[in-house]
Amino acid sequence: MDVLGNPAVIGFFLFFVLLALNVPIFVSLGGATLFTMVVLDAAPLSMMPFVISSSLDSFPLLATPLFIMAGSLLTRTGIASRLVSLTEMVFGRMPGGLALTTLVTGCVLGSMSGSNIATVAALSFLIGAMANSGYPRPFAVAVVAAGCTFGVVIPPSISFIIYGVISETPIPKLFAAGVIPGLLMLLFLGGYTLAVSIWKGYRPAEVERSWPLFFRALREAFWGLMAPVIILGGIYSGVFTATEAAAVAVVYILLVDRFVYRQIGWKDLPEVFYQSGRTIGVIGMMIAMSAVFAWVLQTQGMARLLDTMLHAVSGGNTVLILLVMQFIIFLSGMFLEPIAAMYLLVPLFKPTLMAIGMDMVQFGAALTVNLSLAHLTPPVGVGLFLAAQLGNVSFARAALWAIPFVLCEIVVVLLTTFVPEVAMTLPNLMN
């Protein structure tokens, strides 16, 4: 096969050229697809609407806009501040207590919304609080951005839903596979934060602690803590599907705010739905364009070509094949949104994964942990970019302070990839 003359390869290079010119991702995908189909005559243009409609016509995929809406609602409620108060009561007196509070709260909020960006927005007020407590502001930004990475791993997760749709893997099993890797991420990131806080002398949070105050904070945060219990409990008990769980999340957050926290007025709802709609529209376009581009790549034999190249580089060694795959995923996350990276890479990797006997649930967990780094790594790093903007810190400085957090998560990626028990213990119990 003529690699450089392959229309899909040419289209791939054009896609990255458009990205380098700062063209939006979905426009770059669409432009590269049209060029490949029309100019290079790789596939009939009449197939484009059929591929787009089939990529979006999915009941499980309906959970994505619903979880986005739940995340938008979450940032407007008082749930985040109440969870912070409770977590600070538990971890605040430890060295780096406020930073640890941020990470733990991000883990809980991520499990409620399934969205990284919503978690960053909800926790952004802690950047100023950490800076006022003596933390370097770039470190505070990196902590908030790192805390947001749990949102795509701890279930329910938008990324797991999309991966399940692409790879035809059961979504409840993927959710279960994300629990232990997500907790390992919290353990490693928290361990680094604790160590650097002791080394640098970051003082504990000034928080008064007593059993009455703890139970008061627990009572106020109770309804927020119940959200993941209801959502995941409903899925695994068979009461509702993952898609229905997303609708339950939206209704639950609305009801809790309306009758308990009372932070969102009726007049605020149109703005919430408008912002959610904008995000949903961008993601919908990204899914559609990614699906078409991935289909073109497949029709031009890119999966077979990639399989040949992986075996040539690795000599057929399974460990090396998986390492090269994870390296490709990591590089892709530096330039692409996780959703686009999944649609492009999963169909190309799947034949090779099936050939080497890799469990698609385990690989989905490792892939998702790896792509969670996309929110921290430049030049895109959406989560880090948003936290840097909200914290009034340059993106370059924030990226330097985020490097240790990236290294911690890389360790979790490797553990999830090569130690099956990390991802598969809970899914196997479901059998």
Residue 15 lies in a domain: no
- Mean pLDDT, to the nearest integer, of 285-301? 84
Q: Is residue 24 part of a domain?
A: no
- For residue 194, tell me if it sits in a domain: yes
Residue-wise pLDDT for 87-117, tens only, equals: 888 887 788 888 888 898 888 887 776 667 7
**Does some domain include residue 8?**
no
Q: How confident is the model at residue 38 (pLDDT cuts 50, 70, 90)?
A: confident
Residue 1 falls inside a structural domain: no
The domain total for the chain is 1
HEC sequence for the chain: CCCCCCHHHHHHHHHHHHHHCCCCHHHHHHHHHHHHHHHCCCCCHHHHHHHHHHHHCCCHHHHHHHHHHHHHHHHHCCHHHHHHHHHHHHHCCCCCHHHHHHHHHHHHHHHHHCCHHHHHHHHCHHHHHHHHCCCCHHHHHHHHHHHHHHHHCCCCCHHHHHHHHHHCCCHHHHHHHCHHHHHHHHHHHHHHHHHHHHHHCCCCCCCCCCHHHHHHHHHHHHHHHHHHHHHHHHHHCCCCCHHHHHHHHHHHHHHHHHHHHCCCCHHHHHHHHHHHHHHHHHHHHHHHHHHHHHHHHHHCCHHHHHHHHHHHHHCCCHHHHHHHHHHHHHHHHHHCCHHHHHHHHHHHHHHHHHHHCCCHHHHHHHHHHHHHHHHCCCCCCHHHHHHHHHHCCCHHHHHHHHHHHHHHHHHHHHHHHHCHHHHHHHHHHHC
Position 17 in a domain = no
User: How far, in Å, CA of 108 to CA of 375, rounded?
Assistant: 18
Cβ–Cβ under 8 Å, residues 169 and 416: no
User: What is the C-alpha separation between 219 and 213, in angstroms, rounded?
Assistant: 10
**12 Cβ contact partners less than 8 Å away, ≥ 6 residues apart:** 32, 297
Q: Tell me the residue type at 418.
A: F
Determine, yes or no, domain membership for 33.
Answer: no
Task: Give residue-wise pLDDT tens across range 348-375.
Answer: 899 999 999 999 999 999 999 999 888 8
pLDDT value of position 354: 92
For residue 311, give its domain range: 59-430
- Of the pLDDT bands very low, low, confident and very high (cuts 50, 70, 90), residue 307 is confident
Q: For residue 263, what pLDDT is reported?
A: 85
Round to whole Å and give the CA distance between 396 and 143: 15
Q: Does any domain span residue 89?
A: yes
- Give the pLDDT of residue 265: 83
Note the pLDDT tens digit of each residue in 52-68: 888 888 777 888 888 88
pLDDT score, position 115: 64
pLDDT for the residue numbered 1: 47
Average pLDDT for residues 379-389, to the nearest whole number?
81
Q: Which of 173, 158, 61 is nearest to 368 (CA)?
A: 158
Specify whether the backbone of 392 is left (phi greater than 0), alpha (psi in -120 to 50) or beta.
Answer: left
Query: How does pLDDT run across 163-204, given as a tens digit for each residue?
Result: 999 998 999 999 999 999 999 999 999 999 999 999 988 877
Global pTM?
A: 0.86
Calculate what percentage of the chain has a pLDDT beyond 70: 98
